[in-house]
């Protein structure tokens, strides 16, 4: 048979197998004496239930056949219908339509994975990491852990409709190559998101920056070149980029580093743009779900208000975790860069996203009340 006939025949077998599986109970009902009906039904249900989840995945292939159950099956090789085992193998190979791979599944990536699992409980969510310190947490939240140097990861055989690359440039000696690998693992049916940094924007004099504002010369630093080259690979493939402001939680972020160090390099009035890790994860998920609206786009993740270095430290010092342990740091530069003011109106309108924490101040105040 030519390729088209073979593909239709394979899908026809799959349809027939699904229908045959669905008719098992009817056959048992009419062919089994009533005295043993209950036992037979129970045994049949036990055998069938083991492949139900995989059969659900297989239903996505029915769209390509265009045939409703029991209609238009003339000419299909019903007699060669797939067994439940081979049908399950087909379903496993095709994967679930909401399955996702998160590469660099750290503080941000794990939040993305958890949020995706909450939205799609039946999806396979794989968290790929260099070490296994988070793997217990992954398993507790329904995330399948995978080491980056494992045989499964290195084979590249399994493709995913959704992929997130959230590893930092420091995670790989060939960062752009790692991003290209992520693109190769994407089956192009869903979306791939690359989490980048707003630090690539050129503006440093306090002006407004939007999603498509000019970026720095790639030759200005190896980090900038790696990020911009990686972004280009993602956009070229039809994915999208999410450039993020400074990430934080109560324990992580610039405020924690500065207070523990006792010194801040830069002007106290210099502006910093921030976004909470939870809000950043929600933004990445929104970009994944947006489909064609995300294709080729560069989004910007930031809260509602830029804040000065001094204001960040003062806000953190209001929280019990810091006020009893630290003092306000000293600022080593009284002049210098004024920073930038992010405006991500386009991102919010396109993705329907708003941050849970509109500012670092509001986050600290809310944390204090808990």
- Every domain of the chain and the residues it spans: 96-248+274-304+340-356
d(CA 112, CA 138): 12
pLDDT for 95 = 57
Please give the structure tokens belonging to residue 323. 């006020």
Kindly tell me if the per-residue pLDDT of 78 is higher than 90.
no
pLDDT for 337 = 83
pLDDT for 369 = 83
Under the banding of pLDDT at 50, 70 and 90, the label for residue 218 is: very high
- CATH fold of 96-248+274-304+340-356: Rossmann fold (3.40.50)
Please give the structure tokens belonging to residue 283. 């933004």
pLDDT for 335 = 72
Kindly tell me if the per-residue pLDDT of 63 is higher than 50.
no
pLDDT for 8 = 40
Does an H or E element contain 351, and which? helix 345-351
Better pLDDT: 121 or 17: 121
Kindly tell me if the per-residue pLDDT of 79 is higher than 90.
no
Instruction: Name residues whose C-beta falls within 8 Å of residue 82's C-beta, 6 or more positions apart in sequence.
Output: 13, 14, 16, 17, 90
Strands, sheet with 186-197, edge to edge from the N-terminal-most edge strand: 144-147, 125-129, 100-103, 160-165, 186-197, 240-244, 298-301
What percent of the chain clears pLDDT 70, i.e. is strictly above it? 74
Better pLDDT: 317 or 335: 317
Q: Going by DSSP bridges, is the β-strand pair 205-209/274-276 parallel, antiparallel, or unpaired?
A: unpaired
Q: SS3 string of 132-163?
A: CCCHHHHHHCCCEEEECCCHHHHHCCCCEEEE
Taking only the tens place, the pLDDT of each residue in 101-115 is 999 999 999 999 999
What average pLDDT score do residues 295-312 get?
97
Please give the structure tokens belonging to residue 227. 């990020």
pTM: 0.76
Under the banding of pLDDT at 50, 70 and 90, the label for residue 324 is: confident
Taking only the tens place, the pLDDT of each residue in 137-178 is 999 999 999 999 999 999 999 999 999 999 999 989 999 999
Residue with tokens 């920056």: 209
Confirm if 274 and 246 have CB atoms less than 8 A apart.
yes
pLDDT for 74 = 34
End-to-end Cα distance, the chain = 68
């Amino acid at each position: 048979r030519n390729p088209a006939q073979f593909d239709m025949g394979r899908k026809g077998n799959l349809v027939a197998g699904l229908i045959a599986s669905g008719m098992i109970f009817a056959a048992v009902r009419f062919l089994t004496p009533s005295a043993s009906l209950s036992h037979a039904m129970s045994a049949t249900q036990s055998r069938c239930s083991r492949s139900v989840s995989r059969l659900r995945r297989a239903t996505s292939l029915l769209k390509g056949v265009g045939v409703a159950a029991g209609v238009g099956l003339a000419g299909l090789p019903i007699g060669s219908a797939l067994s439940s085992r081979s049908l399950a193998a087909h379903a496993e190979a095709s994967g679930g339509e909401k399955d996702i791979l998160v590469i660099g599944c750290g503080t941000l990536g794990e939040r993305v994975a958890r949020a995706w699992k909450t939205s799609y409980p039946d999806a396979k969510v794989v968290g790929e990491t260099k070490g296994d310190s988070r793997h217990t947490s992954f398993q507790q939240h329904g995330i399948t852990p995978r080491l980056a140097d494992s045989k499964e990861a290195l084979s590249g055989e399994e493709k995913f409709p959704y992929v997130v690359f959230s590893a930092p440039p420091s995670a790989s000696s060939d960062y752009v190559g790692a991003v290209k690998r992520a693109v190769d693992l994407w089956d192009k049916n869903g979306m791939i998101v690359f989490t980048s940094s707003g630090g690539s924007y050129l503006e440093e004099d306090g002006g407004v920056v939007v999603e498509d504002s000019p970026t720095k010369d790639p030759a200005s630093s190896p980090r900038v070149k790696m990020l911009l080259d990686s972004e280009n690979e993602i956009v070229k493939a039809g994915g999208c980029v999410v450039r993020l402001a400074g990430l934080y939680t109560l324990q992580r972020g610039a405020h924690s580093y500065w207070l523990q160090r006792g010194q801040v390099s830069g002007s106290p009035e210099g502006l910093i743009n921030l976004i909470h890790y939870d809000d950043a994860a929600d933004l990445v998920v929104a970009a994944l779900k947006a489909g064609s609206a995300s294709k080729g786009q560069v989004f910007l993740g930031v809260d509602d208000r830029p804040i000065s270095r001094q204001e960040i430290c003062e806000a953190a010092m209001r929280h019990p975790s810091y006020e009893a342990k630290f003092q306000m740091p000293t600022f080593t530069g009284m002049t210098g860069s004024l920073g930038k003011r992010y405006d991500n109106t386009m991102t919010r309108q396109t993705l329907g996203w708003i941050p849970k924490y509109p500012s670092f101040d509001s986050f600290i105040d809310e944390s204090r009340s808990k």
